Amino acid sequence: MGHFLWEDFKMILMAFCIIPAVNKRSKKKEDEMRRIRTKRILAVSLGLLIFTGAAGFGVASAKMAPGPSKDPITGKEYAGSERCSGCHKKQYDAWKNTIHAWMVRPIARGDFKNVKADLTVPDAPKPDEYNWAYVIGGWYKEERYAFWDEQGNIISGEYEYNRPRKHFTIRKSKDGALERIDWFNECGYCHATGTNYKERTFVEFSIGCEACHGPTADHARNPKAVKAVIDRNAENCGRCHIRARMKGDLKKFNYPVHYELNKPDTLMKDLDPEPYTAPGSFWPDQKNANRHRQQYLEWIKSRHYGVPGLSCVTCHDPHVGSLNYRVGHLRVDERAICAKCHEAIVSDSVKHSGHRYEVASCSSCHLPYTIASGSLPNHTFETIPPSKSLQFGVNERGNPRMPNSCNLYCHTKEPASVMDQKYQNLFKKSSK
């Protein structure tokens, strides 16, 4: 169509250009032709504006937004979480009160009401600085800010707020330019639901029902004949709780795109996970993470990995949470969860660790908050011994390069060497 439009415009322009050459017979005739020429100029100008707009030259495209989307593997349609609320109201209402439901929130130029950061600290973004689009996260660790580019894409910019430290970082690329990230390619799969990487579509922002259950439009239309998928594998959670990038031609996607529900082996297909040697993501023991969104990479290093029937949802209820405080989304009290497999230990915690449960719970030792400035617990379930702190020494500020479960929050005034000796005596283990 654009080709025909352009040919038409060329004919009009040619006709316009020859007007002066054929109309010099009389003043009256010349005035008349001048009026015609003026009208043609206006017509051609308007036509060119319409043409260039249709062709996408210099005119902003439609903004990226939720809409119809299909699974790129199965071709099945997504319905959106609102469709689930009619039959699954209890689960829907509970989910609406979780961080998953509010991961991405709208903002706009001059409107930062959905921002959670303290905007009075240095280097904070200004509400009128960009054509703002969305704010991401910010509930207990990092918050990022995205704006629209001229093509209507969502771009995650340079500002990053660290909530535990109440500090803004100005992120830059390797060449020193302010960071500009295509939100869909880098974040969309885990910050939106029903993502189709092939068509750049998604059905809704944030982590909705179909992020875990898959496309359910067929189920919504005929719930008796088509059952919703329930995938309890750790890999279903792991596809977002992982830091990884696709390989080869799909390298621009910073998330797994080949996962199929209830097919756990598909998670790592053509996927390049963050290496355990990366100092910005893992502690120097190359096992425990120091950066968020890596629980699956820790999980596969734990002794829990591979135990039949044991997965994330054994402990966590994915429908339940809170917007006001961290509860870990546990199904029941942690002692009841741990006792399913470790009954003898839970029944006599003093014999196990030398501490009453009220003093040192299972999670305080086995899930220390070593990630994202103390925002998240690790998921190797290792009681990190003081010997690791001794092994890796201290940094230039005198802080340990590797934390341990004993010194992190409880025995903060005792050196790691003292705690190492106590740990050895208690567990009859060598520090080597």
Note the pLDDT tens digit of each residue in 259-300: 999 999 999 999 999 999 999 999 999 999 999 889 999 999
- Domain match, 118 and 181 both: yes
> Which pLDDT tens digit goes with each residue over 366-404?
999 999 888 899 999 999 999 999 999 999 999 999 999
Please state, in angstroms and rounded to a whole number, the distance separating the CA atoms of residues 153 and 306: 41
Rounded mean pLDDT of 106-115? 98
- Domain match, 43 and 112 both: no
Predicted local distance difference test score (pLDDT) of residue 296: 97
Total domains in the fold of the chain: 2
Tokens of 185: 């390619």
Predicted local distance difference test score (pLDDT) of residue 428: 78
pTM of the complete model: 0.83
Q: Is 193 left (phi over 0), alpha (psi -120 to 50) or beta?
A: beta
- Domain match, 136 and 214 both: yes
> Which pLDDT tens digit goes with each residue over 38-90?
555 444 344 433 434 444 444 446 899 999 999 999 999 999 999 999 999 99
Predicted local distance difference test score (pLDDT) of residue 49: 39
pLDDT surpasses 70 at 421? yes
Of the pLDDT bands very low, low, confident and very high (cuts 50, 70, 90), residue 32 is low
pLDDT surpasses 60 at 11? no
> Which pLDDT tens digit goes with each residue over 323-374?
877 666 899 999 999 999 999 999 999 999 999 999 999 999 999 999 988 8
Q: Which residues, other chains included, contact 104 with Cβ-Cβ below 8 Å and sequence gap of 6+? A: 134, 135, 136, 191, 192, 205, 206
Tokens of 71: 């699974």
User: Is position 317 within any domain?
Assistant: no
Predicted local distance difference test score (pLDDT) of residue 324: 76
User: Is position 11 within any domain?
Assistant: yes
Tokens of 426: 């208690």
- Domain match, 30 and 99 both: no
- Residue where a domain stops, chosen among 50, 70, 89: 50
User: Is position 153 within any domain?
Assistant: yes
Beta strands in 50-189 (DSSP E): 104-106, 132-137, 142-148, 154-162, 167-170, 181-182
Angle between helical axes of 2-22 and 27-55 (0-180°, round to 10):
160
Predicted local distance difference test score (pLDDT) of residue 38: 53
- Domain match, 22 and 89 both: no
User: Is position 26 within any domain?
Assistant: yes
Predicted local distance difference test score (pLDDT) of residue 328: 66
**More confident site: 251 or 55:** 251
- Domain match, 37 and 153 both: no
- Domain match, 38 and 122 both: no
- Domain match, 212 and 92 both: yes
Predicted local distance difference test score (pLDDT) of residue 322: 86
User: Is position 323 within any domain?
Assistant: no
User: Is position 255 within any domain?
Assistant: no
- Domain match, 7 and 97 both: no
Residue type, 80: G
CA dist 266 to 196, 208, 272, 355, Å?
A: 17, 22, 13, 42
> Which pLDDT tens digit goes with each residue over 183-224?
999 999 999 999 999 999 999 999 999 999 999 999 999 999
265 φ/ψ angles, rounded to the nearest 5 degrees: -70, -15
User: Is position 331 within any domain?
Assistant: no
Rounded mean pLDDT of 417-423? 96
Q: Name the residue range of residue 11's domain.
A: 2-50
Is there a contact between 393 and 423 (Cβ–Cβ < 8 Å)?
Answer: no
Query: Quick one: CA dihedral 128, 130, 133, 134, positive or negative?
Result: negative
User: Is position 367 within any domain?
Assistant: no
- Domain match, 28 and 91 both: no
Rounded mean pLDDT of 21-26? 44
Tokens of 168: 């803004």
